[in-house]
């Protein structure tokens, strides 16, 4: 221990107390209030475990070192000794002044002693300047000639020629301070041992982890030993706000050329909030140029929720589903093309309790045997995780043998117990099952909660409200301000056979907005747009067989329209799937 004594008597008491301790070594120096900080800066503190001092000297030293500092307190015995000395003085007025506010204790002890002398107890000064002004006022204006107090009080009072009684620290105060310092040192050593133990444990563990503070400062990381990319820590810092909000969150992130599974968790440690991340390499979604899955961002899924809630046709179905959505029961969404099955699936995910973990979208129409093997057998696959949401899009397009493999995999790995499974199904489910085109067993595994989405042609009375909702969105997205529809135009839209559902209606409305020259869409505008064939607008039923008797160019164009429909008109994703540039796609569509 290091002792900084504000007066010589303190130094002697402290040395005597320490000499009785076989397990304590100390160096003790005397220093006035003005000298203490300068003295501390000249010492090599690496050999000390704690500092012992007193009063304002100790408080000043706390700001100059990271070592634990224990201030020797004024005990009741210390105060009693000072008051007892004042009791036998010839002065009728005595002032008690220290940097610490001890007025309540001193007042109680003076009553206990039945002190006849008038005792002045001013508020504790907060600086040496205040102490000097207070002592001067008491001496000159109040006529005080005896002062009881700490070293600063007696120093100022002596300068005026007043008598002083220094409150000294007795052996019991010293003993308590040494005991407190030993307990602090032992606690720090236990803490350091624990920290070192956990650090060694982490270093020897094969688990790739990073431990970070709330400000993004890395406390510990072994990620680079596990081939993590150089920018991994910067990426984790961007995830901190999400983890702070959700407390425990999973991510599937593309960093560099690879996909990474990241688990972030809030960890409270000794009153501080830290963040623990585990990072593992994932099966790449585009490995070997054969896409296995896509990761859907939560924001995109939440945007889908707002679309569903604003869609009068789907709103009733959505409300009926809510009582089941908190469970892990598999959900199958089925219906005709263009009715918003994928959008509905995104909304189901965003409203579930699993929204703090990734949504993995697997397009069953693109799965070949190699992709199935990677998804089912590669331990980096997202299907090996827990509490993810797995979306099986267009599960009806899986070949029969792939359906059997998926059914077996789901049973053997308890996939539906570990993760939330959502699937979408297009076409007549009853016909496909009865025709042995779709596995009845797989249907029962996936459709614990079957969700049929209504066909637009079954709800033609909702088309006006739906058009108004779409039109409001289009007016925000495009530099137009269309007020509405003339009655005849709306009647034509209600009478039209919407083979491709809401998606087709939305596209037609965008074409009407571009075609019209008025603030109200009229019947001529509707006639002009609807007169174009649905095939020219990119609507080719995905279940229709291609006519191979035609030219290669015609067949290619049909395929382009099929993919364009599946990608909801997104030309960038369509071009990527077809393996051509966007400019080539544009030329083929406009030839």
* Res 203: pLDDT: 67
Q: Give one DSSP letter per residue of 240-282, joined into a string.
A: HHHHHHHSEEEEEEEETTEEEEEEEEEEEETTEEEEEEEEEE-
Instruction: Pick one of 3.40.50.2300, 3.10.150.10, 1.10.357.10, 3.40.50.300 as the CATH number of 2-74+173-185.
Output: 3.40.50.2300
Strand partners, 566: none
What Å distances lie between residue 91 and 15, 120, 159, 502, CA to CA?
35, 12, 19, 100
Q: How confident is the model at residue 408 (pLDDT cuts 50, 70, 90)?
A: very high
**The domain made up of 552-590 is a member of CATH 1.10.10:** yes
CATH class of 289-454: alpha beta
Rounded CA separation 365/418 (Å):
24
Q: What is the pLDDT of residues 340-395, one digit of tens each?
A: 899 899 999 999 988 989 999 999 988 887 888 888 988 888 899 999 999 999 99
CATH 1.10.3720.10 holds for 458-530: no
- Which is it for strands 258-269 and 248-255: parallel, antiparallel or unpaired? antiparallel
Residue 319 has pLDDT above 50, yes or no: yes
Domain 207-281 indexed as CATH 3.30.450.20: yes
- Say how far apart CA 420 and CA 119 lie, in whole Å: 77
Least confident of 397-406, 434-443, 522-531: 522-531
- Whether 289-454 and 2-74+173-185 are alike in CATH topology: the answer is yes
Cα three-residue angle 179-185-190, rounded to 5 degrees: 125
Higher pLDDT, 22 or 584: 22
Give 169-211 pLDDT, tens digit per residue: 888 888 899 999 999 998 888 877 776 776 676 667 677 899 8
What is the distance between the alpha carbons of residues 87 and 110, in angstroms, rounded to a whole number? 9
pLDDT of residue 536: 45
Q: Are 375 and 285 in contact (CB under 8 A)?
A: no
Going from N- to C-terminal start, the domains of the chain cover 2-74+173-185, 76-168, 207-281, 289-454, 458-530, 552-590
Count Cβ neighbours within 10 Å for each residue of 112-121 and write b for 16 or more, e otherwise. Answer: eeebebebeb
Domain 76-168 has CATH 3.40.50.10660: yes
pLDDT at 389: 95
Separate counts of helices (H) and strands (E) for the chain: 24, 21
Average pLDDT, the chain: 85
| pLDDT tens sequence across 214-256 | 899 998 888 877 678 888 999 999 999 999 988 988 898 888 7
What pLDDT does residue 183 have? 92
The answer to whether 403 and 439 have CB atoms below 8 angstroms apart is yes
Predicted TM-score (pTM) of the model is 0.54
More confident residue, 421 or 456: 421
Q: Decide if 450 contacts 330 (C-beta within 8 A).
A: no
- Residues listed for the chain: 591
* Paired tokens of 153: 């009080």
């Amino acid at each position: 221990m290091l002792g900084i004594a504000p007066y010589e008597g303190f130094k002697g008491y402290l040395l005597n107390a320490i000499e009785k301790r076989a397990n304590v070594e100390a160096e003790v120096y005397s220093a006035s209030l003005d000298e203490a900080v300068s003295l501390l800066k000249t010492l090599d503190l690496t050999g000390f475990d704690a500092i012992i001092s007193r009063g304002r000297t100790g408080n000043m030293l706390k700001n100059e070192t990271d070592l634990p500092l224990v201030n020797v307190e004024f005990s009741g015995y210390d105060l009693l000794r000072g008051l007892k000395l004042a009791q036998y003085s010839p002065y009728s007025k005595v002032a008690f002044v220290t940097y610490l506010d001890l007025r309540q204790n001193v007042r109680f002890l003076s009553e206990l002693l039945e002190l006849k002398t008038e005792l002045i107890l001013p508020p504790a000064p907060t600086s040496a300047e205040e102490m000097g002004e207070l002592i001067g006022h008491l001496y000159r204006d109040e006529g005080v000639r005896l002062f009881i107090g700490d070293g600063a009080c007696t120093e100022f009072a002596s300068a005026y020629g007043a008598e002083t009684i220094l409150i000294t620290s007795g052996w019991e105060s010293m003993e308590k301070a040494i005991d407190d310092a030993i307990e602090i040192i032992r606690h720090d050593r236990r803490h350091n041992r624990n920290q070192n133990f956990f650090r060694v444990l982490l270093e020897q563990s094969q688990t790739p982890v990073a431990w970070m503070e709330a400000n993004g400062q890395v406390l510990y990381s072994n990620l680079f030993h596990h081939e993590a990319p150089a920018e991994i820590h910067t990426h984790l810092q961007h995830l901190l706000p999400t983890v702070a909000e959700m407390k425990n969150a999973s991510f599937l992130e593309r960093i560099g050329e690879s996909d990474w599974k990241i688990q972030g968790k809030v960890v409270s440690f000794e009153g501080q909030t830290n963040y623990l991340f585990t990072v593992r390499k994932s099966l790449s979604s585009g490995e070997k140029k054969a896409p296995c899955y896509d990761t859907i961002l939560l924001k995109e899924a939440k945007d889908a929720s707002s679309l569903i809630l604003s869609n009068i046709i789907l709103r009733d179905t959505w409300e009926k589903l809510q009582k089941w959505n908190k469970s892990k029961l598999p959900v199958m969404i089925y219906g005709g093309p263009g009715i918003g099955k994928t959008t509905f699936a995104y909304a189901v995910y965003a409203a579930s309790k699993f929204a703090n973990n990734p949504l993995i979208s697997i397009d069953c129409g693109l799965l070949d045997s190699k992709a199935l093997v990677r998804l089912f057998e590669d331990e980096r696959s997202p299907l090996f995780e827990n509490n993810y949401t797995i979306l099986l899009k267009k599960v009806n397009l899986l070949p029969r043998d792939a359906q059997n493999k998926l059914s077996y995999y789901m049973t053997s790995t308890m996939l539906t117990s570990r993760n939330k499974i959502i699937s979408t199904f297009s076409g007549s489910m009853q016909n496909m099952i009865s025709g042995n085109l779709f596995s009845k067993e797989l249907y029962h595994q996936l459709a614990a909660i079957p969700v049929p989405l209504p066909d637009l042609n079954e709800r033609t009375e909702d088309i006006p409200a739906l058009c108004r909702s779409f039109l409001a969105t289009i007016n925000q997205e495009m530099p137009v301000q269309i007020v509405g529809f003339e009655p005849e135009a709306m009647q034509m839209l209600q009478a039209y056979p919407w083979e491709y559902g809401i998606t087709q209606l939305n596209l037609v409305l965008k074409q009407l907005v571009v075609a019209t020259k008025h603030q109200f869409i009229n019947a001529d505008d509707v006639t002009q747009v609807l007169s174009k064939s649905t095939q020219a607008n990119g609507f080719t039923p995905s279940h229709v067989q291609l006519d191979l008797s035609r030219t290669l160019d015609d067949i290619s164009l049909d395929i382009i329209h099929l993919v364009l429909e599946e990608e909801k008109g997104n030309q960038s994703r369509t071009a990527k799937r077809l393996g051509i540039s966007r400019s080539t796609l544009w030329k083929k569509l406009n030839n």
